[in-house]
Amino acid sequence: APQPTLTFAPLGMRLTHAASYVGVSTGKFNGWVKDGRMPKPFKVDGIVLWDRNDIDIAFSELRDEDNQYDGVDLEFTKLLEEI
């Protein structure tokens, strides 16, 4: 069955919601899970879920890495010019 559109972030999230929560595609999110930057899921009654609180912590740790972006997002700037 299709997932309903949510107006809040549930504590337990399936893959599509977990990826959307951090603003990336499911493929990118899976890559981050595989390389350890995002938490691994767990199963409840056969349903694969990610804990929102674990995602929050992992996402904060991404920011703590030496990866601050000081440049200009050229694609975003180009989109703004088209509006």
Cβ–Cβ under 8 Å, residues 50 and 12:
yes
Instruction: State the DSSP code for 66.
Output: S
The pTM of the whole model exceeds 0.75: no
Lowest mean pLDDT among 3-7, 13-17, 42-46: 3-7
pLDDT in tens, 35-68: 999 999 999 999 999 999 999 999 998 876 566 6
**pLDDT at residue 74, rounded to an integer:** 63
Residue 15 above 90 pLDDT? Answer: yes
